[in-house]
Amino acid sequence: MAKLRRIVQVLFLLFFILLFIKARYPYDEVKLPSDLGLRFSPLIPLFDFIDSWSLSLRYWPALIILFLTPFLGRFFCGWICPLGTTIDINSKILKSPSNKISKKWQKLRFFKYALLVSFIILAFFSINGWGYFDPLSIFNRALSILLYPLATLLVENGLLALSDIPFLEDAAYGIYDPFKNHIMPEGQAFYQHVFWIGLFFAFILGLEKLSRRFWCRNICPAGALLGFLSQFRFYERIVGPACPVCNKCQVECKMNAIPEDDISLTNKAECIECFSCGEVCPPKYKAISYRWRWKPYHSPVDYNRRQFLKTSAGSAAAVGLLSIGLVNKDENDKMIRPPGSLPEDEFRDRCIRCMECVRICESNGGCLQPDRIHNDITDLWLPVAVMRSGYCEYNCNLCGQVCPTEAILPLVLEDKKKVPMGLAHFDKNVCIPYARNEDCLVCEEHCPTSDKAIKFDIREVVLPDGSVKKVKYPYVVKDLCIGCGICEDKCPLIGKPGIFVNTENQRRLTKTQLA
Amino acid sequence: MKRRYFIKTITAGSAAAVLPLSLTGIGKLYAQKAPPDAVWVSNGEPNDLVARALKELGGMSRFISKGDVVVVKPNIGWDRNPSLAATTNPDVLAAVIKLCYEAGAKEVKVFDRTCNEPRRCYNNSKIEETAKKAGANVSQMRNNKYREIKIDGRMIDSWEIYEEYLDADKVINLPIAKHHSLSKVTLGLKNLMGVMGGNRGSLHSNFSQKIVDIDRKILPTLNIIDAYRTLVANGPQGGNPDHVKLTKTLIASPCIVTADKLALELFGHTINQVEHIRLAAEQGLAKYDPDKANVKRVNLG
């Protein structure tokens, strides 16, 4: 069983990576929607339910997992979760200590339940905290912002460096070309907040130095939800009379789910059904077997009423603190969201910060970035359009098609071309024609609307030598501008652009408006 | 009055006698000796336009030798469908590629530095698909393959140019005729921006002089202006089918200035209205005097 589990783990890991790689132009939604992987998250239906008071079949992978969990236990954590698999691989590298040493952290088990409860309370106040801690979201975020760009950096530059060596040139390009065509067609991605997203991911992996699956044992809110549901699970580990109590299984258990004082029991809220216990049981005894039992015993979750009350009080305080921060209009106007985003409050509530839209945008205009903190901490890692380093591709509507929670609505292309993300403004202090009386019009050239939103006046100016010259002075027509930002991106000034987009005139849609 | 009438008759008579001669006999003789400086073929489908234009110019083998590596440089600048006339007509391109191979080219390369995301442009313009089918090597331009060359122009000292363009044996410049707000039109001279590296936006101030400076160093072997569809407004991106005129024309010349100047007729401009073409003519980029060029006009209709 443990061998089969490992194979399944690797297959699911590859499956999630494949879905991730598929999230790019050209995108074919019909065959295999690339946000399907994210919809495996067991937390999504719960929080979607709190938001909309209905269960959406859109999250069918998660619903199947949730349905099976009371019977099978936390099999998702042991067999499917890509973050769990990554952690397993990593713990081999970091050489995690056995349970003899790591059992001292056992008292932290309550923390994952506390986090889950706290996120549920926040969700009732429409504050999304769980998205940051959702394992699928974390995995996708790490792939998008850290691993894929790093891989591009390594492979591309490695091969290009090889191609500089004369006799290796053909060989290097021979690898480079198919690689660029099929695996990494985009150019190098550059993201803001790489450090913080990297730190968060490194922290999760680094915890393996303290115990195996530290994250899954003590922090993961999805693990908490599944643990809560598997207290009575029917599929049990049976320890036969042949057991010499060598404690090998107890020491090796990834989740420390076998109590030290009675190894015939299993903590069902912790066990992730990795079947390693059966594997490490010495073959001469073969004392461990697994069976369905229709009168299962109950193992309670490690979370008591006192802890619950403390969590609730803490969460209430957090809601209060998140509500009294300054809302600076000057910062608000920089928060340009992808086209088709829900109204801001609802958008922030539904976005799980998985970076799927940021990722697919990178293979197009590349305007989307993980957001920084503008006013309060929940600004963090929402998708934000930073037009100076990318722009919204006129013929692209892919961000809405890959959003797992429909925080960005799937607009049809013709609609997307008409929904303004913001409005372009000239900064006449630096814009070349205004500041220096020289022609430029790069913004006008790139403006994609078929009646250009940037128009120009031709006016005569007197130059220092007294001669007269005609110069083209551009301006924005508000009704035509869709705020795609290609003007800002392509502005030839080396720093501050002569034209920039802000959230003025943005249009946000609700699902009912879409229908 | 009688004498005047006599002179008139004589003139008309001799004209009537000479005209057919010059159209048939002398014309034929002349064509065999030296092909025209430029051809203007109208009223045909892409394949026929290209075939006829090259035939008039003396065949592709006049420009392409056996074993040549040829760069055909179309305009793939925008993420637009061919019917919107923002990018070179793929059928014209395919016809040119085929003629190159027939003339014995070893390899035909096709690339352009795009303004929108490159894969989108290559795809939506149908250029990648069509050119590959015609046997060309279609590639995305690589950032590490630009080489800085000396320009020593009036405004530009040096600029980065794409290596494969510089290293090619022959270059065929294949722009599409379009309206452009800054430079009035975008034709052959401006199409060469697609092989320039660096911050191209910065070329837009004092555009005319800068483009003439750089183009001088990278002049193509042959220029074919695709005016099967012409974008007459909202250029260079277009986007509105109403701005596309079905002109069914092709202009070809070994001289970039002559070709560009001819194409101005499509827009009703004169060379004096279009600064960068005028400067190119004044500063010696033309192979022939564009005003006196021998232009052959063929109507296929």
pLDDT means over runs of 10, chain B (301 residues): 60 54 50 82 97 96 96 97 97 98 97 95 96 96 92 96 97 97 96 96 94 97 97 94 96 97 96 96 92 93 83
Interface test mutation site (partner B, options A188, A416, A442, max chain B beta carbons within 10 A): A442
Q: Which fold has domain A329-413+509-514?
A: Alpha-Beta Plaits (3.30.70)
Q: What is the ipTM of this complex?
A: 0.90
Residue type at A171 in one-letter notation: A
Q: Which residue has 């009675």 as its token pair?
A: A262
The pair of three-digit structure tokens given for residue A514, joined into one six-digit string: 């879409």
Domains of chain B: 39-299 (3.40.50.11440)
Q: Where are the alpha helices (DSSP H) in B34-104?
A: 46-56, 90-102
Relative to beta strand B170-174, strand B69-74 is parallel
The 10s digit of each residue's pLDDT in A3-53 is 999 999 999 999 999 999 999 998 876 678 999 999 999 999 999 999 999
Across residues A396-417, what is the average pLDDT? 95
A160 touches chain B (CB under 8 A): yes
Please report the pLDDT score of residue B245 as a whole number: 96
Is the CB of B206 less than 8 angstroms away from the CB of A446? no
Please report the pLDDT score of residue A156 as a whole number: 87
For A439, the closest of B124, B204, B238 (CB atoms) is B204
Q: Show Cβ contacts of residue B222 under 8 Å, excluding neighbours closer than 6 positions.
A: B57, B63, B170, B171, B172, B173, B252, B253, B254
Q: Where are the domains of chain A?
A: 2-139+200-230, 329-413+509-514, 423-502
The continuous run of DSSP H or E covering A474 comes out as strand A468-476
The continuous run of DSSP H or E covering B147 comes out as strand B146-150
Is the CB of A393 less than 8 angstroms away from the CB of B117? yes
Please state which CATH class domain A423-502 belongs to.
Answer: alpha beta
Provide the shortest C-alpha distance from residue B253 to chain A (in Å): 27
Residue A207 · residue A214 · CB < 8 Å? yes
Average pLDDT, chain A: 94
| pLDDT at position A213 over 70 | yes
Banded model confidence at residue A183, pLDDT cuts 50, 70, 90: confident
Please report the pLDDT score of residue A134 as a whole number: 97
Is the CB of A442 less than 8 angstroms away from the CB of B117? no
B183 touches chain A (CB under 8 A): no
A79 touches chain B (CB under 8 A): no
Across residues A413-433, what is the average pLDDT? 97
Q: Which residue from B237, B287, B291 is spatially nearest to B57, judged by alpha carbons?
A: B287
For A491, the closest of B201, B206, B243 (CB atoms) is B201
Q: In A, which residues are within 8 Å of B234 by CB distance?
A: 450-452
Please report the pLDDT score of residue B108 as a whole number: 98
The 10s digit of each residue's pLDDT in A113-137 is 999 999 999 999 999 999 999 999 9
A451 touches chain B (CB under 8 A): yes
The 10s digit of each residue's pLDDT in A442-492 is 999 999 999 999 999 999 999 999 999 999 999 999 999 999 999 999 999
A445 touches chain B (CB under 8 A): yes
Which positions 68-87 of B are in contact with A (Cβ < 8 Å)? 79
Q: Show Cβ contacts of residue A252 under 8 Å, excluding neighbours closer than 6 positions.
A: A98, A99, A276, A277, A280
pTM: 0.91
Please report the pLDDT score of residue A182 as a whole number: 80
Across residues A177-205, what is the average pLDDT? 91
B119 touches chain A (CB under 8 A): yes
A429 touches chain B (CB under 8 A): no
The 10s digit of each residue's pLDDT in A67-96 is 999 999 999 999 999 999 999 999 999 999
Closest CA in chain B for residue A366: B117
Provide the shortest C-alpha distance from residue B182 to chain A (in Å): 6
Banded model confidence at residue A170, pLDDT cuts 50, 70, 90: confident
Provide the shortest C-alpha distance from residue A364 to chain B (in Å): 6
Residue A327 · residue A375 · CB < 8 Å? yes
Please report the pLDDT score of residue A384 as a whole number: 98
Is the CB of A394 less than 8 angstroms away from the CB of B201? no
Q: Say how far apart CA A12 and CA A309 lie, in whole Å.
A: 38
Residue A433 · residue A461 · CB < 8 Å? no
Please report the pLDDT score of residue B13 as a whole number: 55
Is the CB of A444 less than 8 angstroms away from the CB of B181? yes
For A364, the closest of B117, B200, B240 (CB atoms) is B117
B287 touches chain A (CB under 8 A): no
Percent of chain A scoring above 90 in pLDDT: 86
Q: In A, which residues are within 8 Å of B143 by CB distance?
A: 187
Please report the pLDDT score of residue A380 as a whole number: 96
Q: Show Cβ contacts of residue A460 under 8 Å, excluding neighbours closer than 6 positions.
A: A468, A469, A470, A471
> What sign for the dihedral angle of Cα B269, B272, B273, B274?
positive
Q: Say how far apart CA A508 and CA A338 lie, in whole Å.
A: 10
Is the CB of B201 less than 8 angstroms away from the CB of A492? yes
Q: Which residue has 């130059």 as its token pair?
A: A463
Banded model confidence at residue A258, pLDDT cuts 50, 70, 90: very high
Q: Where are the alpha helices (DSSP H) in A98-164?
A: 99-102, 110-124, 130-133, 135-141, 148-163
Q: Is A18 in a helix, a strand, or coil?
A: helix
Banded model confidence at residue A268, pLDDT cuts 50, 70, 90: very high
Please report the pLDDT score of residue B93 as a whole number: 98
Residue A62 · residue A41 · CB < 8 Å? yes
Q: Say how far apart CA A429 and CA A329 lie, in whole Å.
A: 22
Please report the pLDDT score of residue A1 as a whole number: 85
Q: In A, which residues are within 8 Å of B237 by CB distance?
A: 445-448
Domains A329-413+509-514 and A423-502 share a fold: yes
Provide the shortest C-alpha distance from residue A273 to chain B (in Å): 45
* A-B contacts (CB, under 8 Å): 80
Is the CB of A492 less than 8 angstroms away from the CB of B202? yes
Please report the pLDDT score of residue A30 as a whole number: 66
